[in-house]
Amino acid sequence: MAGGLKAIRPETAGLLLGFVGVVIFGITLPMTRLAVEQLDPLFVTTGRAALAGFVACLVLVIAKKPFPVHRDRRALMLAALCICGGFPGFTGYAMQHVDASHGGVVLGIIPLATAVVGSLISHQRPSRGFWITAVLGAALVVGFSLQASGGGVSLGDLLLMGSVLSAAVGYSLAADVSTRLSGWEVISWIVVLALPVTVPVALWSAPVDPMAVSSLHWGAFLYLGLFSQYFGFFFWNAGLALGGVAKVSQVQLLQTFVTLAFAALINGESVGLTTWLVAMAVVGLVLLGRRMRVEKAVMSDSIQKKH
């Protein structure tokens, strides 16, 4: 992947590849909202994971990678429940109730949520400043959701919160395995181990008449399966390896703005000034949270999604 970038400094190449990964993940919500216009969210959820799983099987066979040991299989299966089921499932149904731009702001809190879950799982003790930042970030997202729904908590926001929790738990579980396997192997085994569930459910929930679904919506589905669920991680991991985690991971802060921009472009949403301002505030809190942690987060940036 990075072969064509040999003439560029490794750090620059890493930033470019990382940015490509962020763009891929940033388009996920707009593509999800487009896909569920004509496809069942359950099919979108399991079908995208099944598609990624079949591709990952080929990659793992070609690379001659051994089956994970028992300890890793257990963690990978739990991560698959969150990354192949919870996150895309909650977002799929949420996109039937709220705009992609709204979802982009709410999901912008995922890095902070992941750090919180990761610290609890690994018994780490982040600084007081980090906890204050995390609480402020959560309060900002909840306030934004309440304001958008007229003072109440909408079903769409509850589903998005489920997405945040699923991503945080899934990424934290995968992080432990990523200390023994490379990032691309981790995501590959996650989608492969999910196949016994994703394939039958996808077949059961598939549209009765596939020809009735427009090519545009099938294209969105293919994007989610091939890029959001799988190949996006390859660009992201390669970028981290070339440019270094510390610098390239900062590119992830752009993901929320990528989502807002493509929500307007793909879904025709009108993104107001308030949404942009809240997005900037959320990103700022995420940046502060990263700088305030006194211990290295358990969450590995090589597996963090951005979905």
pLDDT over 50 at 158, yes or no: yes
Q: Say what the alpha-carbon torsion angle 95, 99, 105, 111 is, to the nearest 10 degrees.
A: 10
For position 29, what pLDDT does the model report?
A: 95
The band of 200, judged by pLDDT with boundaries at 50, 70 and 90, is: very high
CA distance 36 to 43: 9
Residue 44: phi, psi to the nearest 5? -60, -40
For position 222, what pLDDT does the model report?
A: 98
Dig out the tokens for 125 from the structure.
């003790």
Distances (CA, A) of 191 to 77, 167, 305: 9, 15, 14
CA distance 302 to 25: 13
CA distance 157 to 62: 42
For position 288, what pLDDT does the model report?
A: 79
- The beta-strand segments (E) located in 133-237 are none
Select from 255, 259, 244, 245 the least CA-distant residue to 290.
245
CA distance 277 to 281: 6
pLDDT over 90 at 298, yes or no: no
Q: Say what the alpha-carbon torsion angle 153, 134, 300, 245 is, to the nearest 10 degrees.
A: 120
CA distance 14 to 93: 34
Select from 255, 89, 86 the least CA-distant residue to 174.
86
3-class DSSP state for residue 264?
A: helix
The band of 293, judged by pLDDT with boundaries at 50, 70 and 90, is: low
Model pLDDT for residues 28-59, shown as the tens digit of each residue:
999 999 999 999 999 999 999 999 999 999 99
The band of 305, judged by pLDDT with boundaries at 50, 70 and 90, is: very low
Distances (CA, A) of 166 to 5, 13, 76, 239: 35, 31, 14, 25
Residues in contact with 7: Cβ distance below 8 Å, sequence separation at least 6, in sequence order? none
Contact status, residue 30 vs residue 267, Cβ threshold 8 Å: yes
The count of other CB atoms within 10 Å of the CB of residue 197 is 18
Residues in contact with 25: Cβ distance below 8 Å, sequence separation at least 6, in sequence order? 228, 232, 236, 255, 258, 305, 306, 307
Model pLDDT for residues 107-144, shown as the tens digit of each residue:
988 888 887 887 777 666 777 787 888 888 888 888 88
pLDDT over 80 at 191, yes or no: yes
Contact status, residue 173 vs residue 116, Cβ threshold 8 Å: no
CA distance 203 to 121: 35
Q: What is the DSSP letter of 133?
A: H
How long, in residues, is the chain?
A: 307
Amino acid, res. 295 = E
For position 182, what pLDDT does the model report?
A: 86
Select from 303, 281, 295 the least CA-distant residue to 109.
281
Every domain of the chain and the residues it spans: 3-292
